[in-house]
Amino acid sequence: MAAEPIGHLDRHHHKTELIQQLLNAFQHDFPLSATPYADIADKLGITEQAVIDLLTQLKQQNILSRVGAVFRPNRVGASTLAAMAVPEHRLEEVADIISSYPAVNHNYEREHHFNLWFVATAENAEHLDSILNDMEKKTAIRILSLPMEKDYHIDLGFPLQLIQGGHHD
């Protein structure tokens, strides 16, 4: 690093700072306006094209999942968090079966007796039940369905710290 010209390091640091600003300041309150990227550009003091280019680049690098709405669970259709205790030797097979359902949008292996956790969503509660029943039949493993009863989190996104020792709020 010592051989790098200082100007290059400055530019790199500046870019990281810009990315951090962009990712932290606009996790909520993304403008609902005709030209949202131009509005963001104004706030960051860069051009609209620079905002679009940066987001496109972050998207290509998979640092950005998407720009868009986060829907409140259980508002659009019915959903549940489900858990299964899968014998170790069947984990891959059962996980593949569960993931193959289009109704499943998250599926995680976790370190616990209940080692497979997934979120299933359907357009209504009856359809969701029939999907879970079908999964139980296919896998011969009982499913714990733990639907959300109350949401206590006020979702404003998640603060990221990309710069070592940088400001974080």
Least distance between another protein and beta carbon 165 (Å): 14
| Cα–Cα distances in angstroms (integers) from residue 75 to residues 32, 72, 80, 117, in the given order | 21, 6, 12, 21
Least distance between another protein and beta carbon 8 (Å): 22
On the CB side of 151, CA atoms within 13 Å amount to 9
Least distance between another protein and beta carbon 6 (Å): 26
Q: Which is nearer to another protein, 4 or 111 (CB)?
A: 111
Give residues with Cβ within 8 angstroms of 127, minimum separation 6.
78
Q: Which is nearer to another protein, 4 or 149 (CB)?
A: 149
N residues, the chain = 169
Q: Which is nearer to another protein, 13 or 28 (CB)?
A: 28
